[in-house]
Structure 1
């Protein structure tokens, strides 16, 4: 069975929030107290689903990521019949820097940093990422942000900027979100690694690339505003093409760019990926 080989790549590019940082827990941990103060009671899954549905809509307006977060909370208030204060909006906008890495992130990055150039490709503002970077324990070779590019993933301009930053280096993109990362990176012919985290706040997607490299997506809000049951339409556990193996290891690497947003490899954690690519 094929696994990624260190000698095939010079650069690892990473999504940050949801891949390295525990995005879902950060959102829930910050928003639930805001809702409880307003006597609004919803399950965590509702918050993550609402976030996933609302974020790309707000991002389409081209505002800063801090303002994206403010607008998501404002619209959540509309949905649940309350008006968040300016203080609550600002606190949520700045909370990104307080969100913690996944338990395996720091150790895995430290090992990978010994072998590869590491690059961040993130839908975030520069100031917000600066606070996050202090938690990750490595110096990234380059940081590609939505603020600098003027676009949000899955817009291919983010990946064009990443490719430009590596200056011809052989690049492997590592991410949790099929919608934001795996589909557009695959559409550009990049090898990808899907880190299949347990939960997230990213939009469900069928993963069919358009001619522009932007995925088509499903998972729109229900009329009642309750969470849908859809999940990322990505490969089954431990596979590279959606066909489970007997022991859950990845199947052979695709010879060509994966179709329909299928990652080249799938792992359950960043640590598992680091073990595989750094294996002798």
Structure 2
């Protein structure tokens, strides 16, 4: 259930984050990276890889390629993730054990383009069907690459969304307001809800673009907003059922 916060206006459009909001990982990145590494003779603790991955991912520049031609984007996406992975194994102290890291990483990158690593949260389909039945347009706004299109298709989510906006194509990543503004045109930003699990990327990013933000907490406790500012006092929900409750309340 949502934590009582300031009321929202009824949405003319709902945008949603992808990873952590619509679907999540079945296994940690460290577990997967460790399994692929073991297959080429490199032994490394998955827990150490998890820590190293989060550090490498945080240190990387945004997965966004402004002014890049479409035909060059797939290569840029692979190189970006390969850089994150190489930094992960470097931080774990085993990068020099790979005979050919480029060759090693290609199947890892391809693996995450399939449905196998991902699990669809059980609350997602009921919420999407409910909003679709009410005639509310839905879009995805994600700091992801072009593999997201195939993932959404294999998870059966494509029919629900009228648009998918990814940082690698837009050339800007959340919390940059540009990706939100590109997604919600021609809607008035104040008439758009954005739902996501990241405080910085989804809540602050959406607010910075003038959208109404809802903070999805999932397996984390519902907490007071990190700031006492009324602008930052946003509704928090444990799953998308909470957003359905908020929507019914705005209509009453």
Q: Does 1:171 align with 2:175?
A: no
Residue number in structure 2 paired with 1:237? 222
Greater RCO (CA < 8 Å, at least 6 residues apart)? 2
Q: Are 2:248 and 1:278 aligned?
A: yes
The alpha-carbon deviation at position 31 of structure 1 amounts to: 2.1
Question: 1:132 pairs with 131, 147, 151, which one?
Answer: 151
Post-superposition Cα deviations, 1:158-194, rounded to whole Å, max 9, x if no partner, equal 1121232546781011111122221122123321001
Query: Over aligned residues, Cα RMSD in angstroms?
Result: 3.2
Match of 1:72 among 77, 84, 91: 84
* TM-score, normalisation: structure 1: 0.67
> Does the 8 Å CA contact 2:17/2:142 hold for their aligned counterparts?
yes
The 3 A distance-change label for structure 1 pair 167 and 266 is closer
Q: Give the equivalent residue in structure 1 for 2:236.
A: 266
**Residue in structure 2 matching 1:154, options 175, 185, 196:** 175
Match of 1:118 in 2: 138
The equivalent residue for 1:12 is 14
For structure 2, the 5+ residue unaligned runs are 67-72
Instruction: Call closer, same or farther: CA 1:71–1:52 in 2, change over 3 Å.
Output: closer
Secondary structure of 1:172's match? strand
Larger radius of gyration: 2
The Cα of 1:51 is off from its aligned counterpart by 4.8
- TM superposition score normalised by structure 2: 0.74
8 Å Cα contact 2:143/2:167 also seen in 1: yes
Structure 1 gap ranges (5+): 200-235, 244-253
1-side partners of 2:127 and 2:222: how far apart? 20
The DSSP-based 3-state class of the residue aligned with 2:44 is: coil
Point out the structure with the larger helix share.
Answer: 2
Distance across 2 between alignment mates of 1:179 and 1:263: 14
Match of 2:105 among 89, 93, 116: 89
